[in-house]
Amino acid sequence: MIPGRKYFKDQEIYGDWFPRMGDILFVRAEAIDKKTGSSMDLLIEVYSKKLRDVGKGTQVTSSPGGSAIDWQLEVDSATAGVQEFIGIPDSTGGMSELIRYRISTSGGSTDDWVHMRIFPPVFLDAAQ
């Protein structure tokens, strides 16, 4: 969870690590406010790593070697309100023991900003 925070042009922020608690990840974010006329986009990506690994982790994709597009949440200049996605890895995995978000911004003017929050993640177990 990341409480309400302002993000500015060309920022890249990694959230804290939290434990994986299921097979399916449900992510929700809300654009609370933004600078009037802002054309900046904000992207939330899911990263994962094993407990013993060091570093930033690896971006989670829909399948090994696959596209990460299913694991991204984009808040663009036209977006308002709550946005959400459900990440479902294939049977070979995709999420390791620890999970975190990478938030990055692109586009817009030097003084553009968006105030947004990420709700606590919801994990579900895959049906067997």
Give the other-Cβ count within 10 Å of 34's Cβ. Answer: 22
Give the other-Cβ count within 10 Å of 125's Cβ. Answer: 9
pLDDT for residue 46 = 87
Mean pLDDT by 10 residues, the chain (128 residues): 85 92 84 82 88 90 59 67 68 75 89 88 78
pTM: 0.82
Contact 15, 2 (CB under 8 A): yes
What residue ranges define each of the domains in the chain, with the CATH number in brackets? Answer: 2-123 (2.60.120)
66-96 confidence digits (pLDDT tens): 555 556 777 766 666 677 777 766 554 578 8
pLDDT for residue 83 = 75
